[in-house]
């Protein structure tokens, strides 16, 4: 394949243009320079420095103990390994307690960590925070559906948006967040039909994880799609390493299948 590292940097504007053309893009988590470089060479457009590092790197039970300093450290590692991919970083638990705090911590992730986009969990109630960050020049990805930082409130990691009222809240939240200035949306563990409705009716790119095939982009935890995360694999994950036999080939296969629309398949989604 051609060396995509020599092409133009990926930006929120280029992802929006891709959505307008009906294209798809691939996103994976990355926590260090080596995986950042390997993923970018495979064609991954968006590197997510997720607070999932608390579980897959630090061995914690949830993402809640992850700190801003943890996120800055891993984000800076990823930034040293990328050349053109867009780096998106999670604001960890309670770092968005107030809009001002989210602004300050988001600025640190960009200035000290090298992030290009800040991801914030929450629905329409986060519109004020998204608006402040957007007005101050910080691109935002709003994370709706299943929100892992609310694990104790939810009692686990259940699929969201299955009943009509819950679905309505997600659709309305997506609309409010886009109006507030969100540059991207991420939908996690929602019915495929709901994700299709949101993706079709918002102007910004929508990234799905466990949200069916009709989102503009797809994301997985990289250790999950390599089949090396201990424990039970989520329904929406496919083991690309078992399929391909090497990490570079697995990463390339993931990108290829996302762009072709063959992953995720019906067996990876929810109704």
Give the residue numbers annotated as catalytic, written as ranges: 188
The Cα 115–Cα 126 span in angstroms is 20
Residue partners of 141: CB distance under 8 A and separation at least 6: 88, 117, 118, 119, 120, 182, 183, 184, 185, 186, 207
- Residue 236: Cβ within 10 Å count: 22
Q: What would the two tokens of residue 207 be?
A: 């990234």
Phi, psi (degrees; rounded to nearest 5) at 119: -100, 135
Rounded-to-integer distance, Cα 19 and Cα 255, Å: 16
Instruction: Name the CA dihedral angle for 125, 128, 130, 131, rounded to a multiple of 10 degrees.
Output: 150
Element (H, E) at 80: helix 68-81
Task: Tell me the β-bridge partners of 206.
Answer: 185
Q: Which of 185, 238, 193, 189 is nearest to 210 (CA)?
A: 189
212: left (phi > 0), else alpha (psi -120 to 50), else beta? left
Least Cα distance to 39 among 75, 84, 91 occurs for: 84
Prior bond to 232 cis, omega within 30?
no
């Amino acid at each position: 394949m051609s060396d995509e590292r020599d092409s133009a940097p990926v930006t929120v504007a280029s992802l929006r243009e891709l959505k307008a053309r009906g294209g798809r893009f691939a996103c994976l988590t990355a926590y260090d320079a080596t995986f950042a470089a390997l993923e970018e060479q495979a064609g991954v457009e968006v590197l997510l420095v997720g607070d999932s590092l608390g579980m897959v790197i630090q061995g914690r039970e949830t993402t809640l103990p992850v700190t801003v300093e943890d996120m800055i450290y891993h984000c800076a590692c990823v930034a040293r390994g990328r050349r053109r991919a867009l780096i998106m970083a999670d604001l960890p638990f309670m770092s968005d307690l107030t809009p001002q705090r989210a602004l300050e911590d988001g600025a640190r992730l960009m200035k000290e960590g090298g992030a290009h986009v800040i991801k914030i969990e929450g629905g329409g109630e986060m519109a004020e925070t998204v608006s402040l960050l957007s007005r101050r020049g910080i691109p935002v990805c709003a994370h709706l559906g299943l929100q892992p930082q609310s694990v104790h409130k939810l009692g686990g990691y259940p699929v969201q948006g299955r009943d009509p009222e819950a679905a309505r809240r997600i659709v309305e939240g997506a609309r409010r967040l886009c109006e507030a200035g969100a540059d991207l949306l991420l939908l996690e563990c929602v019915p495929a039909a709901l994700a299709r409705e949101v993706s079709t009716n918002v102007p910004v790119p929508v990234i799905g994880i466990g949200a069916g095939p009709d989102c503009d982009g797809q994301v997985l935890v990289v250790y999950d799609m390599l089949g090396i995360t201990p424990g039970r694999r989520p329904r929406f994950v496919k083991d690309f390493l078992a399929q391909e036999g090497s990490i570079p080939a697995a990463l390339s296969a993931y990108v290829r299948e996302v762009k072709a629309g063959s992953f995720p398949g019906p067996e990876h989604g929810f109704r």
